Chains A and B, each alone.
Chain A
Amino acid sequence: MSTLALAFADGAVVAKRNLIKIKRIPELLIWTTMSPIMFVLLFGYVFGSSIDIPGSNYREYLIAGVFAQTVMFGATGTGAGMAEDMTKGIIDRFRSLPMARSAVLFGRTGSDILYNSISVLVMSLTGLLVGWRIRTNFFSALTGFLLLLLFAYAISWVMAWVGLKVPSVEVVQNASFMFIFPLTFVANTFVRSELLPGPLKAFAEWNPVSAVAQAAREAFGNTGNLPPPEAWSLQNPVIYTLIWVGIILAIFIPLSVRQYEKATRK
């Protein structure tokens, strides 16, 4: 078997182990689904009732932003999971086995795709309840969902690296919130980036989270009669998102694998 095939086969075995844990502790899943519901309701009603973006139904506009934000937060679970794994004796077992070095990481990020899928599904259902609608077709909507999950997968690798880098699970949460909050708020998630002042506008326009939200918004047909965005990144949100996903994976897969090696060789 080639190295890559081996890494995926071993990763699948590790992913299965992570999924069995969900079966044993169903509470894990309940909380995973609660926060997306909360996000949609909170933003949908609090902001959705008080903010008006001319030319669009704001509540519909905002749901795609909430999707993008929630998958970002969901990805912190990967970091917490890695940090927790590193404190367990099972890592020694894994390391004494002739398995791919990267399998623990591929397994963790792989099983977290399921978490994120469930979270996106729950958000969509809640969204439908509060008035969000898909105004395109099935395939277009599917592209939107896949792009959200793909972006979440890339962020999972960043979080995996953070989880290996920091000393405990609690630190993972705090450390990642430090950059997830600005990334998800200084974006076009909840307001139009064009309306932000100078530097914030530039940041928001080129922020990949904006591109993901914009791509999803377009895929679901939630852009209403808004004028087209000014920046290239938001005019071509799918391509721009894919570029970011590629860059993040190319950097953080090798970085995380190396950090895993380093962290376990103490």
Chain B
Amino acid sequence: MTYMIRTEGLVKRYGDVVALDGLDLVVPKGTILGLLGPNGAGKTTAVRILCTLLDPDEGMVEVAGLDVRADPDKVRERIGLSGQAAAVDEHLTGYENLDMVGRLYHLGKQASKQRARELLDQFDLDEAGDRPTKTYSGGMRRRLDLAAALVARPEVVFLDEPTTGLDPRSRSQMWDTVQTLVREGATVLLTTQYMEEADRLCDDIVVIDKGKKIAHGTADQLKTQIGGERVELIVTNSADTDKARTVLESLSVGEIQTDEQTRKLTAAVSGGADILGKLLVKLAEQNVSVVDVGLRRPTLDDVFLSLTGHATEDGAGDASGTEAVDVREKEAVR
């Protein structure tokens, strides 16, 4: 198999802080690797090293078969980067930005112009193309930034939190774009805090925390790794939370998470639909009325929580993240 990205034992320190602590990655050609982790996990540091922007303190880094440390210029010819802060010039128009990037990739005058128009069209920016990017919305700027990354049709594309701060429509557009890229043969490494995004896009997921890889696999493998289904129920009155918890404890195979705010309880179970029947009967016996009850496969949020003991900070679960940690602490006290 041809690997387009390979790192071994990558270490990066900032003073006493270890940003990367021996990270190993491999990304086969034509696939999407998701680098998943909370803020400060080391995702951006890893991307900056892979894109030649930062020297690692230790370890081997290879992109498109080239040693990044020995041959940064050759690597730069073959990669595209779209970072967290849109790297476009605010005084230039969208067209001028893309044209400039084309010229700096040495595509030549004509080809740069043509490619700029082509990309503006592809990213729905043709109408705004001749306005300074200062006037663009956040979503438009991100699209332009991604377009800039694709000017030279790179073989390897790095996307650092490509959808952070985007509205749902822009986010799904971004997902389509990434999928098209890979269909056309590119290899993509993207970082994200969104479980849904990794689940939806990535062939392979590496979960990192504090600069270390803590899990690796497909979304399905990771979910299987932490066990079966989850039963989720929402009680009508918060006064019933404790009773519902007792009932769940008798059926669950793992820990129970409680979100006081949304009155939601989640428990790992095994036994499928039968369990759901038993649960409803027991709840009725205890006179606990529920708004909603259901069985679901574990999400990557669950994976993260069970692997690290803390939820993602900005993950899809929003406030439930910190809540869940609090609950676990309370349980420990008990």
Binding site for B on A (CB under 8 A): 9-10, 13, 16-17, 20-21, 24-25, 88-99, 103, 264-266
- Assuming the contacts A25-B91, A89-B86, A90-B88, asked whether A96 and B104 have C-beta atoms less than 8 A apart, the reply is no
Contact A93 B51 (CB under 8 A): no
A-contact 0/1 string along B105-120, CB 8 Å cutoff: 1100000000000000
Contact A92 B81 (CB under 8 A): yes
Q: Which residues of A contact B73 (CB under 8 A)?
A: 98
Q: Count residues on chain B whose CB falls below 8 Å from chain A CBs.
A: 29
* Interface assignment of B182: CB less than 8 Å from any CB of chain A: no
Q: Which of B51, B89, B96, B103 contacts A96 (CB 8 A)?
A: B51
Contact A92 B87 (CB under 8 A): yes
- Assuming the contacts A17-B89, A89-B87, asked whether A96 and B52 have C-beta atoms less than 8 A apart, the reply is yes
Q: Which residues of A contact B132 (CB under 8 A)?
A: 24
Q: Which of B51, B79, B80, B104 contacts A99 (CB 8 A)?
A: B104
Please, which residue of chain A has its CB at the minimum distance from the CB of B154? A96
Sample of 20 further A-B pairs with CB below 8 A, known A89-B85, A96-B53, A97-B105: A10-B103, A13-B103, A17-B89, A17-B92, A21-B89, A21-B91, A88-B89, A89-B87, A91-B87, A92-B81, A93-B87, A93-B101, A94-B104, A95-B52, A95-B53, A96-B51, A98-B77, A98-B104, A98-B106, A264-B53
- Report the minimal beta-carbon distance from B82 to chain A, rounded to whole angstroms: 9
Contact A96 B76 (CB under 8 A): yes
Q: Is chain A's interface secondary structure helix, strand, loop, or mixed overall?
A: helix
Q: Which residues of B contact A98 (CB under 8 A)?
A: 73-74, 76-77, 104-106
Cα A92 to Cα B158 in complex, Å, equals 13
Cα A99 to Cα B80 in complex, Å, equals 13
* Interface assignment of B189: CB less than 8 Å from any CB of chain A: no
Q: What would be 26 A-B contacts, judged by CB atoms less than 8 Å apart? A: A10-B104, A13-B100, A13-B103, A17-B89, A20-B92, A20-B96, A21-B89, A21-B91, A24-B132, A89-B83, A89-B86, A90-B88, A90-B89, A92-B83, A93-B81, A94-B104, A95-B53, A96-B51, A96-B52, A96-B76, A96-B81, A98-B104, A98-B105, A265-B53, A265-B54, A266-B54
